[in-house]
Structure 1
Amino acid sequence: MSRRDDHLSDDDRILWNLVARSARPLKGKTAVEIPDVIEAKPEPSPGPVNGAPAVVAKPKTQHVAHALDDQTLHKLKKGRLPIEGRVDLHGMTQDEAYSLLLTFLHRAHAGGIRYVLIITGKGSSSGGDGILRRAVPAWLATPAFRHLVSSHDHAARNHGGSGALYVRLRRIRS
């Protein structure tokens, strides 16, 4: 089954722009400029449902994942703050890793877990830095993860070093 869809979701468009920025042009070719700002398409207002007027939800504030503060990072590195969950993405494709990470973070957040460790691996088999090592921090800044993740930072050497990330999940609002 092949289906062609010319419309990318905002998440897909953001992810594509991150990937496109990291690509280098072939020898003898010029680079294509990628705009910094993605123009948002206005969404059509929903019509009435069962004769009742449609309720339009107000836009939520956008949360941006920040780096962990120094005190929290130090406590995590020294083991004074417990890492309550961990997920290993070694050897997975980007699609597999993305869906596993999203599912894992949803479950951890729902379970009230605060700090998790994401192991991406260093990915030096092809001579460069790993795909997941570069992609996961970018994913954490996308709207799909933004409501789950408060902040993230590179892990200490004893937790995987540059091949792992500490992630602080947002608190559940009651």
Structure 2
Amino acid sequence: MAGRRLDADERALWARVIASVTPLVPVRTKDDPVVPATEQPAIAPRRGRNIVAPSPPPSPQPRPAIGETLDGSWDRRLTRGAIIPDMAVDLHGHTLDSAYRLLDSSLDRAVRSGARVILLITGKPPRADLRGERPMRGVIRAAVGDWLSASRHAAHIATVRNAHPRHGGTGALYIILKRDRCAA
């Protein structure tokens, strides 16, 4: 957006404002030598205060991520409901704490036994009432994703997918574990 031109008094006032400002980051002219970023000095003191250049944020620690891809045959079998779970874990009737403990112990058992597919039954969310309000998602179902990604077994989980209707549909999840390469 183009602005109006400044008159002589406004230009003089603006020049005084610019002269009184000390930039936080020094402005480089084309005559200044290029200094590598690792050798850049801290920002110059401003009005008697020492201003230290902010340090870059710490890089996040890599966590074992739960993958989002499987090969095509797995995807087709999951979509058709042709998967037969090796074990099922039903979290109905549990509190958050007891559901977490049951899920953790079940994952431990599944990893040790070499299971590949766990059917995790969380329960379907409540239906919308007649007023058309959206149903609230169950608290256990909402917490499962965080539990799995922060789990001590996260490195063993290949992916998590919604279950086929014959296995519970929206009320259940498939947890696909990675194949144990040492046992093969």
- What TM-score results when the alignment is normalised by the length of structure 1? 0.59
Match of 1:62 in 2: 63
Match of 2:139 in 1: 131
User: Following the alignment from structure 1 to structure 2, what is the Cα–Cα distance between the partners of residues 117 and 167?
Assistant: 6
CA 38–156 in structure 1, closer or farther in 2 if over 3 Å, else same: farther
Shift of 1:118: 0.2
Deviations 1:111-163 (A, max 9, x none): 01111110000242794111111111221111423123121111111111111
Equivalent position SS for 2:108? helix
Q: Could you tell me whether the CA contact under 8 Å between 2:104 and 2:151 is conserved in 1?
A: no
How big is the alpha-carbon RMSD for the aligned residues of Structure 1 and Structure 2? 2.8
Match of 1:81 in 2: 83
Match of 1:91 in 2: 93
> Which consecutive segments of 4 or more residues in structure 1 shift more than 6 A?
37-40
Match of 2:35 in 1: none
CA 131–38 in structure 1, closer or farther in 2 if over 3 Å, else same: farther
- What TM-score results when the alignment is normalised by the length of structure 2? 0.56
- Confirm or deny that 1:71 pairs with 2:57: no
Which stretch shows the higher mean deviation, 62-71 or 106-115? 62-71
Q: Which runs of 5+ in 2 are unaligned?
A: 1-56, 129-134
Match of 1:157 in 2: 165
Equivalent position SS for 1:144? coil
Equivalent position SS for 2:115? coil
Equivalent position SS for 2:100? helix
Shift of 1:103: 0.3
Among 108, 122, 147, the alignment partner of 1:120 is: 122
Shift of 1:62: 3.1
Shift of 1:173: 4.3
Match of 2:24 in 1: none
Give the length in aligned residue pairs.
119
Match of 1:107 in 2: 109
2:99 is aligned with what amino acid? Answer: A
Shift of 1:167: 0.8
Among 157, 170, 174, the alignment partner of 1:166 is: 174
Q: Could you tell me whether the CA contact under 8 Å between 2:66 and 2:155 is conserved in 1?
A: no
Q: Which has the larger radius of gyration?
A: 2
Q: Which runs of 5+ in 1 are unaligned?
A: 1-36, 41-58
